[in-house]
Structure 1
Amino acid sequence: MDSSLQVILEALPMLLKGALITFKIVIIALPIAFLIGLISGLMNVSSSRILRALATFYVDIIRGTPLLVQVFFVYFGLPAFLDIRIEAEVAGIIAISLNAGAYISEIFRAGIISINKGQMEAARSLGLSKWLTMRLVILPQAIRRMIPAYVNQFIVSIKDTSLLSVIGINELTQSGEIIISANYRAFEIWGVVGIIYFMIIYALSRLARVFERRYASQ
């Protein structure tokens, strides 16, 4: 036990540093994904066939391919095609943003169409434009309903960052792999990695419930 505790204590600083990188990627990527999802979701419910087709194409492509392939495409494929260099962390943020954005787009679409159509008609009859009706009447209600699904996507994206180890980002999973390659103590290290992921996700889940209760009481 003493040996295991020592291994864990020695590994903890590097693992926590990896956890911070994981959190940094998600904190940057998720607001971008939210914006992408919002725009794509609005395009998906618009009256324009072209906008709907573009949004559907984007969502289908992302949802129809593995995240790992998307990571490789952004990190290796795009730089080769455009003759540029993309840093690993930037590529990771782009891949997570595009991936989560497609799923958030569907969350927005479902949230918007769940609102009774009569509210749109009533607001339009009062003289509000379609855009103002969407911004002031439909979206506020839809976003309240979307909170659980959005938080779930946030949690999924945190787990998905473990795939970024394949392009050399020293996030939590990669940090664990580096430590294990040096000390061969897989049981202790993967156990701590799992506990850190659990603590992050559990804290976010509790925070989400607070927001849900707050919005439900309004």
Structure 2
Amino acid sequence: MRWDVVWNNFDYLLWGAFPDGPLGGLALSIVLAVAGIFGAFWLGLAVGLLRIAHSRLMRWPAMVYIEVVRGVPLLMLIFWFYFLAPIALGHTLPETWSALIAFIIFTSAYIAEIVRAGVMALPRGQMEAARGTGLTHIQAMRYIILPQALRNMIPSFVNQFVSLTKDTSLAYIIGVLELTRAATQINNRTLVAPTEIFATIAVMYFVICYALTSASRRLEKQLARYQARGR
């Protein structure tokens, strides 16, 4: 076993060539996941609210967006944004930006469904009571409905974050220097410890995802206690 190869290159697995070169490794994977879930949250929130709008002109485009994106593999979206960008924009997008845009678009479709389900799960009387106080539909959604629904959605958002963290490994296919590609580069350079290298990154992914999953479980328990006191 050649664990010394892993130890000697462990800093490259963590952050790539940074600060002497571009950020990479696990640090870039986390940056992609955090930026992806942040962008996807706002886009998914907007699409999810359009999905439950009364107007068909708003509801149907949102539904088509959700169904199309969810019906396409994430890897295909990454290829689209990477290879079709020169045709649409007239110039290529950096690999990292192509992957990040694909992550945002893909994850936002799932978040939109989480938002739709969270809002629809609330009793209809909530909206009727809010409208009865003189609030408009938008005001009732902003001040009454969404704060309750979003609190219940937090565990689902964390689970989506866990999924996106693992999905960042797909950016490897277009040359993004995330954790999987960093490990592959080390393996191609050394050629003596593939098992040790890829076992190490498996453990690194597991630790990150397990920590997020544990946080999600704690949030669920806290929210359950909060709701029990509320009753």
TM-score, length-normalised on structure 1?
0.94
Distance 2:109 2:76 in 1: 15
Q: Does 1:212 find its partner at 2:210?
A: no
Q: Does 1:99 find its partner at 2:106?
A: yes
Structure 2 residue runs of 5 or longer lacking an equivalent are 16-24, 227-231
Distance 1:103 1:37 in 2: 7
1:113-152 CA deviation, whole Å, 9 max, x = no partner? 0000011111111111111111111111111221121111
Quick check: 95-104 or 76-85, which moved more? Answer: 76-85
Q: Is the 8 A contact 1:11 1:189 kept in 2?
A: no
Q: Does 1:58 find its partner at 2:56?
A: no
Q: Tell me the residue number matched to 1:153.
A: 160
Structure 1 residue runs of 5 or longer lacking an equivalent are none
Distance 2:115 2:121 in 1: 10
Q: How many residues align?
A: 216
Q: Is the 8 A contact 2:77 2:102 kept in 1?
A: yes
Distance 1:14 1:143 in 2: 38
Q: Is the 8 A contact 1:71 1:164 kept in 2?
A: yes
Distance 1:5 1:84 in 2: 43
Q: Is the 8 A contact 1:176 1:189 kept in 2?
A: yes
Quick check: 108-117 or 10-19, which moved more? Answer: 10-19
Equivalences for residues 132-151 of structure 1 within 5 A: 132-151=139-158
Q: Tell me the residue number matched to 2:179.
A: 172
**Counterpart selection for 1:16 from 10, 14, 17:** 14
Distance 1:167 1:79 in 2: 15
1:15-60 CA deviation, whole Å, 9 max, x = no partner? 1110000001111111110001100000001111011111111111
* Counterpart secondary structure, 2:177: coil
Q: For residue 216 of structure 1, report the CA deviation from its aligned partner.
A: 3.8
Q: Tell me the residue number matched to 2:199.
A: 191
Quick check: 82-91 or 60-69, which moved more? Answer: 82-91
Amino acid at match of 1:108: V
Q: Tell me the residue number matched to 2:18.
A: none
Q: Is the 8 A contact 2:37 2:104 kept in 1?
A: yes
Q: Is the 8 A contact 2:29 2:179 kept in 1?
A: yes
TM-score, length-normalised on structure 2?
0.89
Distance 2:168 2:3 in 1: 27
Equivalences for residues 21-40 of structure 1 within 5 A: 21-40=28-47
Distance 1:5 1:174 in 2: 19
Q: For residue 61 of structure 1, report the CA deviation from its aligned partner.
A: 1.2
Task: Give % identity.
Answer: 38
Q: Tell me the residue number matched to 1:5.
A: 3
Distance 2:151 2:116 in 1: 13
